[in-house]
Structure 1
Amino acid sequence: MTKQEQIALDKIAKNDHEIYALIKQRYSPRIFKDQALTDQDVNRLFEAVRWSASSNNWQPWRFIYAHKGSDAYNKIVECLSDFNQSWATNAPLLLLTAYKEQNPDGKENFHALHDLGLSLGNMAIQAEYMGIALHHMAGVDWKKAHEVFEVPSGYHVTTAIAAGYYGGDLNDLSEELQEQETATRKRMPQEDFAFKGGWASK
């Protein structure tokens, strides 16, 4: 068993209640197998997005994506925070996520971010089914992304995603990031966020 395979086993969630296996297995690596994602791979990920739930079926999610080696990929890297730039180039595919701010009537779509999140949940489970890892990144300069990619008014770039097949060499990361990569996963207990009958004073 390789070290990365052992890490993947160690990352399986220690759940308190039984859940779907793909949810247990999913985690967010910063290293990826040296294998390009094909157009078919990408199409399957976006097909999962396409069938996500959304308010009034408005489907406000939007994406910009690029394969490693392309000018667009390098432009996405330039929009990432310095920290994310230090590892994200390990990924064969980078994406920017965005949402449409208004509904078809021109009013604010209050649920657009919620719907974008639902679409990314679909993508994450589809990716896990395919052996593909996603690492979602908040550290992105959305204003710069708007300029670089000439995002039209009425849309808002939100996050970035590094995508690639699970695997890769742990030595491609700094010592600090290697520690994070192998750290035990932790989650708050259910009673800290799910309140039966009324809001708890947490």
Structure 2
Amino acid sequence: MSKVKGRDAKSAPIGLREKSRRETLGRIRAAAVELLAERGYDQMTTREVAERAEVGEATLFRYVNSKQQLLLLVVGDKMDEHIDTIIGEDTRTAKGGPADAGSFLQRIHGLYKARADFYLGDPENVTSYVQNAFVAGSDLGAKNIAQGDRVIERVALIIREGQALGHLLASVDAQVVAQNCQGIYVHEILRRSVRGFSHESLEERVRARLDAQLLPLVRP
């Protein structure tokens, strides 16, 4: 391992330039968090973020190249943490819970209840995050898809575990069902405003559609 003045490079002090960079990025992130909460993604401007962070707009664009990347910086990072949490919670549930058909379906419902709770914490900005992932050339697209894929893989894993134990139909493609479950969640977020649904109804709407996917998997 390389050394820096007798100490591991890993523990070497941060240089002044890097310290300044991190502090500036921290101010930009904090400003974006505040303005997203106050004004929402659609109304917030990069100029406002720069002013709140006490940097020039040209400096702001050395750290992020678009307003979309500000959304990625704030909501995208929170989404990563959220998915880490729900996967960890499901892992603990799997170790301590009963092994019957209902328990596997409940684990999937638990994942999407937690996802609905995350949405309710910041519905307008989470909606903007999901919407912008579908814009051609979006900065958010790759990250959002990777996050969705993590949830899909977890749901597919749960289904395969149930199939292996004989509780769920083995003839069903677990990956396709998991993709459908994720598609339901995204669709219900995107159609809320068009249909005039309340934010609070997301969990109920998702659960009803998940049941239509999952209940037929239970072996008679």
Q: Provide TM-score, normalisation by structure 1.
A: 0.26
Compare CA radii of gyration and give the structure with the larger one.
2
**Quick one: higher RCO (CA 8 Å, sep 6+), 1 or 2?**
1
More helix by share: 2
Q: Provide TM-score, normalisation by structure 2.
A: 0.25
